[in-house]
Each structure stands twice: as structure tokens, then as C-alpha cells.
């Protein structure tokens, strides 16, 4: 009997095949037969894991969202471990949503394709909403933590700040992707400075804990 790991690997292969088809040819190009051929599997094997095309698409969307989420969480873990300023950690988290390399460009194209289909597909809409809300919640939490440690002014409301910063990340991602598709690299080259400038409007102070540790050295 195949191990559980084998099943998960095959499901990942199918998700990767779906994403490759969307990235290269668009959402309408995805069929069970084409997905099977791209994944190097039989149609029957693909249907063993996903009974319908919609089931397959939903799994692929969840897989892409989870990969972005894992990278964001790794930045947060590393930032905590290495005692980095919250604004620096959030800059890295927000950059994961920008299509600045081949992997993230593919993810962005796939995510936008799914977001469009989500308008008429409640299951996809749920994943799309969850992904967006998690980023906004991360940012709101970071602003709250910044207030506690001194990086953010005590009077600042975390929620409006999170809405604004999320809008910056999402809008910047669209601009970068569109421009790079047309051969214009200016938005991509400015992306880090745009994010840093927006974060600097919120994170205006220095963490007391880190400042005290540095002063004691």
C-alpha cells in the first residue's frame, strides 16, 4: 500500500501541474486530461485524487495560498528569533506577495486567475478571502505589537493601518506584474522602497526592548 507521503506527493504534483497550465495558458486551459499529461500521470490516477475539475482547482488554489503563507510565517519566526525590528519583518512578509521572481510571478498569475473565478465559485472565494484576511491580520497584529514595544505610537489604531498596508501590497503586486509583463522594471525596482516608506509612516519608533539590549552591550 502506498505511504501517506506518496499520496501527498501526488497531490502536490497535480497542484503543480494545474498551476503550470494556468501560468502558461490561462485557467481555461486546465482540464483533467491536460493536468494528467503535465503531471506525468494517467487520467484515472488524477481522478482517483480529485473527482471533478473544481475539486482539483480548489486544491491547487489552497496549495498556492499555503506556500505563500509558509514563507510569510518563516519571516515572522526568523524575525522573532533574531530580534529584528517589526517593520523589517513586515517588509519581508509583504514582499512575498510581490511577483519579483519566477516562483512569485507564477503564484501571482495563478492567484489572480483563481480570484476571478472565485466571483462565481463560493469555495474558491472562501480561500481567496482567507488568504487576504490572514495577511491583514498579520499586519494588524504587528502594529499592535509595535505599540506595545515602542515602534508604533500608542494612539494608532492597528486596523486602519493594516487595511492601508494590505492595499499597498495588493496594489503594488498588480502594478509590478503588469509592468514586468510589458518589459518595464521600474515598479519592481521601486517596490522595496515603496513598502519601506509606507511602513515608516506606521512604525515611527524603536523597540524599547531591543534598544535596551543594544545599549547594555
Residues 128-149 have pLDDT tens digits of: 899 889 999 999 999 999 999 9
72 contacts 93 by C-beta, under 8 angstroms: yes
Amino acid 116: pLDDT = 87
Considering only the C-alpha atoms of the chain, give the largest distance between any 2 of them, rounded to a whole number of Å: 65
Among the listed ranges 2-11, 64-73, 75-84, which one has the minimum average pLDDT value? 2-11
Query: What average pLDDT does this structure show over 81-110?
Result: 93
Given a cut of 60, is residue 183 above it in pLDDT?
Answer: yes
Structural domains present in the chain: 1-51 (1.10.10), 60-216 (1.10.357.10)
Given a cut of 60, is residue 22 above it in pLDDT?
Answer: yes
Helix (H), strand (E), coil (C) string for the chain: CCCHHHHHHHHHHHHHHHHHHHHHHCHHHCCHHHHHHHHCCCHHHHHHHCCCHHHHHHHHHHHHHHHHHHHHHHHHHHHHHCCCCHHHHHHHHHHCCCCCCHHHHHHHHHHHHHHHHHCCCHHHHHHHHHHHHHHHHHHHHHHHHHHHHCCCCCCCCHHHHHHHHHHHHHHHHHHHHHHHHCCCCHHHHHHHHHHHHHHHHHCCCCCHHHHHHHHHC
How many Å from the N-terminal Cα to the C-terminal Cα in the chain? 59
194 contacts 176 by C-beta, under 8 angstroms: no
Given a cut of 60, is residue 217 above it in pLDDT?
Answer: no
**CA distance linking residue 143 with residue 162, whole number of Å:** 8
Q: Output the average pLDDT for the chain.
A: 91
More confident residue, 216 or 158: 158
pTM of the full predicted structure? 0.86
For residue 1, name the pLDDT band (cuts at 50, 70, 90).
Answer: very low
Amino acid at each position: 500500500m502506498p505511504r501517506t507521503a506518496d499520496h501527498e506527493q501526488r497531490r502536490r504534483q497535480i497542484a503543480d501541474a494545474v498551476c503550470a497550465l494556468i501560468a502558461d495558458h490561462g485557467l481555461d486551459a486546465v482540464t483533467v486530461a491536460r493536468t494528467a499529461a503535465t503531471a506525468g500521470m494517467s487520467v484515472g490516477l488524477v481522478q482517483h485524487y480529485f473527482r471533478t475539475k473544481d475539486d482539483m482547482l480548489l486544491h491547487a488554489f489552497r496549495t498556492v495560498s499555503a506556500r505563500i503563507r509558509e514563507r510569510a510565517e518563516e519571516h515572522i519566526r526568523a524575525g522573532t528569533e533574531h530580534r529584528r525590528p517589526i517593520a523589517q519583518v513586515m517588509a519581508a512578509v509583504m514582499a512575498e506577495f510581490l511577483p519579483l521572481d519566477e516562483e512569485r510571478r507564477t503564484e501571482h498569475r495563478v492567484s489572480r486567475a483563481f480570484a476571478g473565478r472565485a466571483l462565481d465559485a463560493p469555495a474558491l472565494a472562501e480561500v481567496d478571502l482567507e488568504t487576504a484576511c490572514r495577511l491583514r491580520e498579520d499586519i494588524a497584529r504587528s502594529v499592535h505589537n509595535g505599540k506595545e514595544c515602542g515602534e508604533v505610537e500608542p494612539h494608532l489604531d492597528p486596523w486602519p493601518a493594516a487595511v492601508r498596508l494590505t492595499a499597498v501590497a495588493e496594489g503594488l503586486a498588480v502594478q509590478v506584474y503588469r509592468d514586468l509583463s510589458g518589459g518595464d522594471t521600474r515598479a519592481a525596482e521601486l517596490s522595496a522602497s515603496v513598502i519601506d516608506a509606507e511602513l515608516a509612516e506606521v512604525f515611527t519608533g524603536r523597540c524599547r526592548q531591543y534598544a535596551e539590549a543594544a545599549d547594555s552591550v
